Chains A and B, each alone.
Chain A
């Protein structure tokens, strides 16, 4: 006697891929009643699953494409702006760095130049003691012209015997 499949079995066959349920499919091939039931089941399930996207007008898809395009453009613009901002920030950092370096360079050379200058003017510095002596001599109050009148006294005083002094 032929065993017919229940709708529940057919439901599983429908969802689990009909081609893979060989016993059921073989039975459906030979049993008109079960085949009709399966067809009805399939039709109802397919109808119930029908998605309204098929009925969407062309304007819906065009609008969707435009929205996608706009979002991509906005994203690209944002990326460009972000890139620009990054470039500006990088330029600012670079400028700050270069400024710092320049500032350092300008302060360091002063010291170097002072050293260099001192080394460059070394002969002058070496000559300086002589000039200083001259100055010193010229500024020696005992040698000044104003005291020249007293030179004899000074000489006299210096002429005094050492023993008498004491």
Chain B
């Protein structure tokens, strides 16, 4: 059985005019890019758009990719930049609306796993809501770093690499973000703790 072609091979083939090769690239990375975009913008439609934009932009500038970093890293950077642009736009438009929270959203009750445990699902949704509220108090940079860490489970080094920052800077931002989130979660826990055993909650 033939090995899957490397990213570099696919890029060379794409630059040579092989459209199918770029299709393979998209297929290989679209899930990852979508996840990163979703982790930042927290909106499925916008994450989809950002994913498409990312691959179109990458295709347009493919000849400029010099291979200094992994292709996946390059794509992820594009996706992060596009997601940041969207957050900025949201922030800008939020200035003209009543809603001061730039990307607050109704927490939909969608189960995170298949296990039939309603109480657990409810708690998970409530926790998600508490984290979302906590995020609203973070700066743009803190929010971005926190989301990449929390939702995408990227390491500090990976985040630093994607954002072009030093790991120490990322650590400092994340530290401040976690402190703010911690405060919000403490409030949420206290509310819950009034009715239930603390040990079973967060």
Report A's interface with B, CB cutoff 8 A.
7-8, 11-12, 15-17, 37, 41, 44-45, 47-53, 56, 61, 64-65, 67-69, 71-72, 75
Contacts and interface: CB of A to CB of B under 8 A. Distances in A.
B142 to A, nearest CB: 12
A72 to B, nearest CB: 5
Majority secondary structure, A binding face: helix
B124 A11 contact: no
21 contacts: A8-B182, A12-B175, A12-B179, A15-B150, A16-B156, A16-B175, A44-B123, A45-B127, A47-B112, A47-B113, A48-B112, A48-B127, A48-B128, A48-B131, A49-B128, A49-B151, A53-B31, A64-B30, A65-B23, A65-B30, A71-B56
A63 to B, nearest CB: 9
Contacts of B125: 48
A127 B193 CA distance: 129
A56 B38 CA distance: 13
Contact of B60 (A11, A67, A75): A75
A47 B182 contact: no
B26 interface: yes
B10 interface: no
A68 B202 contact: no
Nearest to A68: B55
